């Protein structure tokens, strides 16, 4: 889910109420845009659907993907839960943290035993991804996604290109992230990254700045950008060869609670289809 690793234990990673709220918002956004995403979901006529969940964390995106309702003809009313869980049949989680992947496997194997799971530690923001993900099982995905990790990536263009190489022809990639915050007059653009301490800065720096929490000190080191515009995302997708670009702005804002402050961010879903 959210792409920073600030906890020593992965079990605590998305345990706070505001994190759970954001995870719920992402789930609802993806659920309500399932048809719009246009993936080749599992159905009576399509026996398998393979998901690549990158920067997967503890697996929020994978858990969302299996909640999409199938058409009535595909439902067995006696085993609705199992029917819903087969909207995808295979899920592969890739993350830079082995602790996150352990939690990913633990959570999903216990709640969705019919789902075929695979994980690997790897960095798809690297120009040369690790040999550990060179095999055929790490290619030809029907759909791939990143949820709220994209603004942490030092090389988002490289990441999109690597994700594209993992998709089958006509496969779908989606990114959930947020728009840039507007920068108020008189603020340093370098400080206006919509972080919880950004509003404390001005050109004169003639104030006493509140002490950052240890949690925030760790997190802000990983944030690479203030957000992405539709034009930003369109350019990145098209550079990687995607077609049918789509972009929707989400109505309900994400509210982050960090450093003793609340920050509102406007989310979006961007998508493209591999040509």
pLDDT, greater one: 16 or 15: 16
- Domains of the chain and CATH, by start: 10-274 (3.40.50.150)
3-class DSSP state of 144: strand
Q: Write out pLDDT tens, residues 123-182.
A: 999 998 889 999 999 999 999 999 988 988 888 999 999 999 999 999 999 999 999 986
Question: Looking at residue 37, what is its pLDDT?
Answer: 93
Query: What does the alpha-carbon distance between residue 100 and residue 172 come to, in Å, rounded to a whole number?
Result: 24
Question: Looking at residue 195, what is its pLDDT?
Answer: 36
Which residue is listed with tokens 């060179």? 134
Max CA distance (Å), the chain: 67
Query: What does the alpha-carbon distance between residue 196 and residue 213 come to, in Å, rounded to a whole number?
Result: 11
Most confident of 24-33, 130-139, 216-225: 130-139
Angle between helices 230-239 and 156-166 in degrees, nearest 10: 50
Q: Write out pLDDT tens, residues 51-110.
A: 999 999 888 788 765 554 444 444 333 332 232 234 789 999 999 999 999 989 998 888
pTM: 0.76
């Amino acid at each position: 889910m959210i792409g920073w690793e600030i906890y020593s234990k992965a079990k605590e990673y998305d345990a706070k109420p505001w994190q759970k709220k954001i995870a719920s918002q992402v789930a609802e956004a993806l659920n309500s845009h399932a048809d719009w995403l246009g993936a080749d979901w599992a159905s009576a006529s399509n026996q398998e659907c393979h998901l690549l969940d990158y920067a997967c964390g503890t697996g929020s995106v994978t858990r969302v993907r299996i909640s999409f309702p199938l058409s009535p003809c595909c439902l067995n009313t006696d085993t609705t839960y199992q029917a819903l869980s087969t909207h995808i049949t295979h899920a592969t989680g890739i993350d830079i943290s082995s602790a996150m992947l352990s939690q990913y496997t633990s959570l999903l194997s216990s709640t969705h035993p019919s789902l075929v799971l695979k994980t690997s530690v790897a960095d798809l923001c690297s120009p040369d991804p690790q040999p550990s993900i060179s095999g055929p099982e790490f290619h030809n995905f029907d759909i791939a996604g990143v949820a709220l990790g994209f603004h942490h990536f030092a090389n988002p263009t490289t990441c999109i290109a690597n994700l594209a190489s993992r998709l089958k022809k006509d496969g779908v990639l989606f990114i959930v992230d947020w728009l840039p915050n507007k920068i108020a007059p008189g603020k340093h653009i370098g400080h206006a990254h919509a972080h919880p301490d950004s509003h404390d800065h001005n050109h004169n720096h003639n104030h006493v700045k509140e002490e950052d929490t240890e949690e925030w000190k760790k997190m802000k080191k990983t944030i690479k950008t203030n957000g992405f515009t539709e034009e930003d995302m369109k350019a990145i997708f098209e550079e990687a060869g995607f077609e049918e670009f789509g972009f929707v702005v989400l109505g309900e804002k994400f509210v982050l609670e960090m450093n003793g402050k609340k920050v509102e961010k406007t989310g979006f879903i961007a998508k493209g289809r591999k040509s």
